[in-house]
């Protein structure tokens, strides 16, 4: 299939390379000049050559096209957005002229960006797909080389409209990644693990970040019993919102277990600490104003808080974390966050109604 991957950072480069190894015709599209320009320039100069290094072995992929030209996406069957969620709305507005009916637009991770697509591309008949988390845990170690630390054994996806899930599934299952399918994009958005683990982990380790300048591993060091209590309290607020929206009450650790192991008999909390304790976990975050806070608080926690407010559900832990992060960074993260007003009230209503209609069909 013809696939465009938008975003030439860690995840975008790795997924584009992996899809190329699976035999697809892939275009990797750089969408900004903010980061990873050295890697992008290397790929341009070396014919799209990427080395994927995993468990001491190297696979070399050749990505067919390396470009900044957004028009290339009009020829693609599937368009995959792999940029930080802070920039989703702006990118969706930029690519709108190049999208066409019946394409699959896969946003990884989604964080309810389906609302932005409905808000700005409502006249197009797209299949909008949201992923919970990146298919590959990886880092660009040097230009043209990506180290893969972990692969999800299952990658949950939600589809909007849910009535087109089977149609989307027929194409998505050809990509080569192991997918499972959720009742709606709501489950994909709210089960983004970074909403829980990045926000709690980074906010509760602000002194450690500043003291070491990132020379520590958040996953290895931060989730002590008391911090774990905070994580579970936040997770309880998230599950209350999901339950009110008609979704199954699944905890963070159970969702983690589903993505990270095929052994359904393992204890979910033990799976998290096994995953967190892997030596391949990256150090950091390096600074407080990093994506762990400046992306996942406004794009994740603000979204959770605003959905909860719409449903009359109290979220004291979520609200406290937003306030703490805003105070630490010296700016109101709600102003740059995914409030319902920002997402678009009409678009959010359409997503909720689509979830309800799918529940009725299942019943």
The model's pLDDT over 74-105, given as tens digits with 9 standing for 90+, comes to 999 999 999 999 999 999 999 999 999 999 99
pLDDT (0 to 100) of residue 360: 64
pLDDT (0 to 100) of residue 32: 81
pLDDT (0 to 100) of residue 355: 87
Which domain does 67 fall in, by range?
Answer: 2-183
When the pLDDT of each residue in the chain is averaged and rounded to a whole number, the result is: 95
Residue 188 lies in a domain: no
pLDDT over threshold 90, residue 63: yes
pLDDT (0 to 100) of residue 283: 85
pLDDT tens for 106-144 read 999 999 999 999 999 999 999 999 999 999 999 999 999
Q: Are residues 146 and 22 in the same domain?
A: yes
Residue 177 lies in a domain: yes
Q: Are residues 154 and 281 in the same domain?
A: no
Q: How far apart are CA 77 and CA 71, in angstroms?
A: 13
**Which among 152, 183, 214 is the end of a domain?**
183
Q: Are residues 173 and 245 in the same domain?
A: no
Q: Are residues 136 and 202 in the same domain?
A: no
pLDDT (0 to 100) of residue 358: 75
pLDDT over threshold 80, residue 52: yes
pLDDT (0 to 100) of residue 59: 97
pLDDT (0 to 100) of residue 282: 82
Q: Are residues 179 and 250 in the same domain?
A: no
Residue 215 lies in a domain: yes
Q: How far apart are CA 39 and CA 8, in angstroms?
A: 8
The CA angle 283-288-289, to the nearest 5 degrees, is: 115
Taking residues 275-302, what's their average pLDDT? 93
Q: Are residues 202 and 80 in the same domain?
A: no
Neighbour-count burial for 66-78, b at 16+ CB within 10 Å, e otherwise: bbeebebbeebeb
Residue 145 or residue 284, greater confidence? 145
Percent of the chain's residues with pLDDT above 70: 98
Taking residues 168-178, what's their average pLDDT? 97
Q: Are residues 256 and 319 in the same domain?
A: yes
pLDDT over threshold 70, residue 24: yes
pLDDT over threshold 70, residue 35: no
Residue 291 lies in a domain: yes
We report the CATH number of the domain holding residue 18 as: 3.40.50.720
pLDDT (0 to 100) of residue 213: 85
Residue 109 lies in a domain: yes
**Best CA proximity match to 54, nearest among 170, 126, 171, 146:** 146
Number of domains in the chain: 2
Tokens of 179: 């997918």
Q: Are residues 172 and 100 in the same domain?
A: yes
Taking residues 46-63, what's their average pLDDT? 97
Q: Are residues 205 and 354 in the same domain?
A: yes
pLDDT tens for 200-233 read 999 999 999 999 988 999 999 999 999 999 999 9
Q: How far apart are CA 266 and CA 264, in angstroms?
A: 6
**Which among 183, 212, 237 is the end of a domain?**
183
We report the CATH number of the domain holding residue 203 as: 1.10.1040.10
Q: Are residues 211 and 340 in the same domain?
A: yes
Q: Are residues 105 and 208 in the same domain?
A: no
**Which among 125, 152, 183 is the end of a domain?**
183
Residue 75 lies in a domain: yes
pLDDT (0 to 100) of residue 362: 57
Q: Are residues 260 and 166 in the same domain?
A: no
């Amino acid at each position: 299939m013809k696939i465009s991957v938008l975003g030439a950072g860690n995840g975008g480069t790795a997924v584009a390379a992996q899809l190329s190894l699976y035999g697809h015709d892939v275009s990797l599209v750089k969408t900004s000049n903010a980061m990873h320009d050295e890697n992008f320039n290397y790929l341009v100069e070396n014919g799209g050559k990427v080395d994927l290094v995993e468990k001491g072995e190297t696979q070399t992929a050749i990505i067919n096209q390396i470009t900044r030209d957004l028009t290339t996406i009009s020829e693609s069957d599937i368009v995959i957005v792999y940029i930080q969620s802070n920039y989703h709305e702006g990118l969706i507005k930029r690519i709108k002229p190049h999208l066409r009916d019946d394409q699959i637009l896969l946003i990884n991770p989604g964080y309810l960006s389906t609302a932005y697509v409905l808000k700005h591309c409502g006249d197009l008949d797209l299949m909008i797909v949201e992923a919970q988390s990146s298919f590959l845990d990886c880092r660009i170690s040097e230009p043209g080389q990506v180290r893969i630390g972990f692969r999800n054994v299952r990658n949950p996806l939600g589809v909007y409209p849910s009535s087109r899930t089977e149609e989307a599934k027929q194409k998505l299952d050809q990509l080569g990644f192991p997918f499972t399918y959720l009742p709606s994009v709501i489950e994909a958005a709210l089960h983004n693990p970074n909403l829980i683990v990045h926000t709690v982990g980074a906010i509760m380790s602000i002194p450690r970040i500043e003291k070491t300048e990132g020379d520590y591993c958040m996953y290895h060091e931060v989730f002590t019993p008391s911090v774990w209590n905070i994580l579970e309290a936040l997770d309880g607020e998230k599950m209350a919102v999901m339950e009110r929206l008609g979704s199954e009450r699944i905890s963070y650790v159970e969702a983690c277990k589903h993505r990270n192991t095929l052994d359904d008999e393992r204890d979910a909390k033990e799976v998290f600490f096994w995953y967190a304790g892997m030596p391949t976990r990256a150090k950091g975050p390096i600074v407080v104003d990093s994506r762990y806070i400046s992306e996942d608080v406004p794009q994740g926690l603000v979204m959770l808080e605003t959905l909860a407010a719409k449903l009359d559900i109290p979220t004291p832990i979520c609200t406290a974390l937003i306030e703490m992060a805003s105070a630490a960074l010296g700016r109101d993260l709600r102003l740059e966050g995914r409030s319902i007003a920002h997402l678009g009230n009409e678009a959010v209503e359409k997503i909720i109604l689509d979830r309800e209609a799918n529940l009725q069909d299942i019943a």
